[in-house]
Structure 1
Amino acid sequence: MKRNVLIIGAGGVAQVVAHKCAQNNDILGDIHIASRTLSKCEAIIASVHEKGAMKGEGVLKAHAVNARNSDEVAALIRETGVDIVINVAQAFVNMPVLDACIETGVAYMDTAIHEEPNLICETPPWYGNYEWKRKEACAEKGVTAILGVGFDPGVVNAYARYGIDTYLDAVASIDIVDINAGSHGRWFSTNFDPEINFREFTGTVYSWQNGAWQSNTMFEVGKEWDLPVVGMQKAYMTGHDEVHSLATNYPQADVRFWMGFGDHYINVFTVLKNLGLLSEKPVTTAEGLEVIPLKVVKAVLPDPSSLAPDYVGKTCIGTVVKGTKDGKETEVFVYNVADHKDAYNEVGSQGISYTAGVPPVAAAMLIAQGTWDVSKMVNVEELDPKPFFEILDRIGLPTRVKDASGDRAWNA
């Protein structure tokens, strides 16, 4: 049975989601795309048709919606008759979109944790501040809600579950490592929405270690990682969404997130922050104009979606799990390598958008097939990862495993 889909958002990730839904519309059926700006949705639809992505005849339609208004989203869900909502808009709209899905009884998924525009880096666990407060409502209404089902969070959570279940008797640590070894050729840019990107790195770096929340500052703790394909890379411990659910589901393990940064990014970020240009507090110019510095920075930086044509190189993102097996210390790296140019050639987006956009489509297919239609709210590590990997292998993000026995496909 086909399950019709509504995509909320019209950025680079939404473009990937639309292409992948179109490639699998024998399972996902009608496809609707909605955002505040109708023309952006229409541009994505044009891209899908240009690439000939539609697997079969079907609906592919654009809509305008204010996703911060739950009633508007609910009305659109009813109008389109969709069964699954894939929310890849700014994280500020998660709760109103989730509430609309609960009200209308349709499945919900997102790729990042909810944020309030006026709050940065709230007290952990972050999911407990917003999404998890709707767990009971989802269960009562039988609504499937899969939180954080991008790549990180998302696929890396599934990697953790798989690595622990398959290779360990007891887990001691979970380290997510995200390396983008690609180059976009611009003097400076962020790979996704600058506003969200900078907010992520201006707050406290939370990790779960020794059975408690630990705090550091950004770029305080660095480590070199020797990874497949991309080689030796410097990464820094960073606060991130998946730490907050994995720490809840694996409280016995240390849980950390590491992201790669070059010296140039760190230098520019530090200058912007020290000048107050990453602030969300309004300032008044000499001409009497009230502006928000962070939004000005966002306005002058390249649109992340514009980076795609020139992007080259690869990403390596995965999860290192350590623990014991048969009384011996064991370490396993479950990972994926993606290529920016391959992503652009297929869907017109760069690799960061590709890795974020493919997984929710795989999850939607699993909901449509009944495998992940669990009628409650879950994070990805609470679901069986194997069917997820099987679809990801098939639609563009193959999973590999590296350990003392070698480097191989996960199911080899």
Structure 2
Amino acid sequence: MKKNVLIIGAGGVAQVVAHKCAQHNDTLGNIAIASRTLSKCEDIVSSVLEKGSMKVEGSIKAYALNALDVAATVELIQQTESQIVINVGTAFLNMSVMSACIEAKVAYLDTAIHEEPNKICETPPWYANYEWKRRDECKENGVTAILGVGFDPGVVNAYAKLGCELLDSVDSIDIVDVNAGDHGRYFATNFDPEINFREFTGTVYSWQNSEWQSNKMFEVSRTDDLPVVGERTTYLSGHDEVHSLSQNLGVANIRFWMGFGEHYINVFTVLKSLGLLSEQPVTTAEGQEVVPLKVVKAVLPDPSSLAPNYTGKTCIGDFVKGKKDGKDKEVFIYNVADHKEAYNEVGSQGISYTAGVPPVAAAILVATGEWDAKTMVNVEELDPRPFINLLNTMGLPTRIKDEEGDRPVSF
């Protein structure tokens, strides 16, 4: 059984992870949280202690760390005697943190695909460009590495796997992500603005008819009447899970759809048209080199600052279509989360909550051995049932809607 967790990152998602690890520290053991800015880590530790989140008496400590420094990360892993590392820092850190975990022979979990600062929307399947190149090394060293175990990617991968198990054959999986919340700001992103915008400024890759299809952002849309949040329009978007599901499930059509309001689309379009979302550096008249996207990030609200006044709900799930007993069948497997409830519990908004709870559930399953794969895997390669059951008890209950009605899912 693995014990002691090192959390890398100190944003809104890291705050959720810290609280949830504390709530399950009888299983997970001591908690360390590290990022470049020590004060942010200390604030999260204070939040955990103030809310009394620790289930049993234990240790939670803050550390300063440049996680791009592999040797320093290995040293901190060893110093804290951590056997599980949950990486919820920027996606630019993934390969460095993974390298440290392989060297230290400890479990590695992250919530997003690796990115390089000067590249966007890389050739699919994107995981093959970075993470999957280390798969054999993980297996040789007996290192469990679970990739993309947030909500999307993550929980939706488990939903896709479950849908494939519930139906005799599957023709399509359409993942729909709708945030029907309101943060009260003129414009803001729900997570790191740099990562957020990078998802939507390049080619939209989807998996259709068993091959990669390319589109432009906001070119293709659909409208669904979703549980709780009602009728919503979503747009075909490129996203992490499509890159692994397309390779692992043998389904001909896999797409990701994200909801956007007209205001977001308008502001995004203006920023992109002006070149302010470029990841490439430019030189100002004064001779100063800047990256436009980083400037936009600097002037937008910190996503964690949105939490106190956030209201409304999210609805994220998978429409899985295929056949059962020779008949056409569609199921919608989904979760609804509430921004205000998330803030009241852990001090973060609902987007951070949905991203932060799943890696802790995965860490618990690694600790107990159920998901201790001792190699590199994406979530759909693991049994979804213990994961879904655990999430049901941790604040992210799963439901299913089909011709038989709308009901909770448990095993």
Q: Which residue of 1 aligns with 2:249?
A: 250
Q: Which residue of 2 aligns with 1:152?
A: 152
Distance in structure 2 (CA, Å) of the matches to 1:101 and 1:209: 35
Distance in structure 1 (CA, Å) of the matches to 2:288 and 2:236: 38
Q: 1:38-71: per-residue Cα shift (whole Å, max 9, x none)?
A: 1110010011011110111111001111111111
Q: Which residue of 2 aligns with 1:91?
A: 91
Corresponding residue SS for 1:357: helix
Q: 1:184-240: per-residue Cα shift (whole Å, max 9, x none)?
A: 000000000000000010010000001110000000001101110000000000000
Instruction: State the shift of 1:252 in Å.
Output: 3.3
Corresponding residue SS for 1:40: helix
1:92–1:114 CA contact under 8 A, matched in 2 = yes
Q: 1:224-273: per-residue Cα shift (whole Å, max 9, x none)?
A: 01110000000000000000110001233200000000000000000000
Corresponding residue SS for 2:123: coil
2:388–2:410 CA contact under 8 A, matched in 1 = no
Instruction: State the shift of 1:370 in Å.
Output: 0.6
The amino acid across from 1:291 in the alignment is: V
TM alignment of 1:179-328, pairs within 5 A: 179-328=178-327
Q: Which residue of 1 aligns with 2:382?
A: 383
The amino acid across from 1:225 in the alignment is: D
Corresponding residue SS for 1:202: coil
Please identify runs of 4+ aligned residues in structure 1 that moved more than 4 A: none
Q: Which residue of 2 aligns with 1:368?
A: 367
Instruction: State the shift of 1:2 in Å.
Output: 5.9
Corresponding residue SS for 1:183: coil
Distance in structure 1 (CA, Å) of the matches to 2:397 and 2:105: 32
Q: Which residue of 1 aligns with 2:67?
A: 67
| Aligned-pair identity (%) | 73
Distance in structure 2 (CA, Å) of the matches to 1:176 and 1:2: 33
Normalising to structure 1: TM-score of the pair?
Answer: 0.99
Corresponding residue SS for 1:67: coil
1:91–1:115 CA contact under 8 A, matched in 2 = yes
Instruction: State the shift of 1:287 in Å.
Output: 2.5
Q: 1:164-195: per-residue Cα shift (whole Å, max 9, x none)?
A: 102x1011001110000000000000000000
Q: 1:140-182: per-residue Cα shift (whole Å, max 9, x none)?
A: 001111000000000000001111102x101100111000000
1:102–1:141 CA contact under 8 A, matched in 2 = yes
Q: What runs of 5+ residues in structure 1 fail to find an aligned partner?
A: none
Q: Which residue of 1 aligns with 2:141?
A: 141
The amino acid across from 2:25 in the alignment is: N
Does residue 403 of structure 2 align to residue 392 of structure 1?
Answer: no
The amino acid across from 1:402 in the alignment is: K
CA RMSD of superposed structures (Å): 0.9
1:93–1:114 CA contact under 8 A, matched in 2 = yes
**How many matched pairs?**
411
Structure 1, 5-14 or 281-290: larger mean CA deviation: 281-290
Corresponding residue SS for 1:3: coil
1:180–1:315 CA contact under 8 A, matched in 2 = yes
Q: 1:256-299: per-residue Cα shift (whole Å, max 9, x none)?
A: 00000000000000000000000122222222222111111001
Distance in structure 2 (CA, Å) of the matches to 1:252 and 1:359: 24
Corresponding residue SS for 1:345: helix
TM alignment of 1:166-177, pairs within 5 A: 166=166, 168-177=167-176
Corresponding residue SS for 1:323: strand
1:183–1:313 CA contact under 8 A, matched in 2 = yes
Instruction: State the shift of 1:411 in Å.
Output: 2.7
1:2–1:26 CA contact under 8 A, matched in 2 = no
Distance in structure 1 (CA, Å) of the matches to 2:16 and 2:410: 26
2:277–2:293 CA contact under 8 A, matched in 1 = yes
The amino acid across from 1:53 in the alignment is: S
Normalising to structure 2: TM-score of the pair?
Answer: 0.99
Q: Which residue of 2 aligns with 1:330?
A: 329
Distance in structure 1 (CA, Å) of the matches to 2:241 and 2:65: 29
2:221–2:234 CA contact under 8 A, matched in 1 = yes
Corresponding residue SS for 1:321: strand
Structure 1, 22-31 or 246-255: larger mean CA deviation: 246-255
The amino acid across from 2:31 in the alignment is: I
Distance in structure 1 (CA, Å) of the matches to 2:226 and 2:99: 40
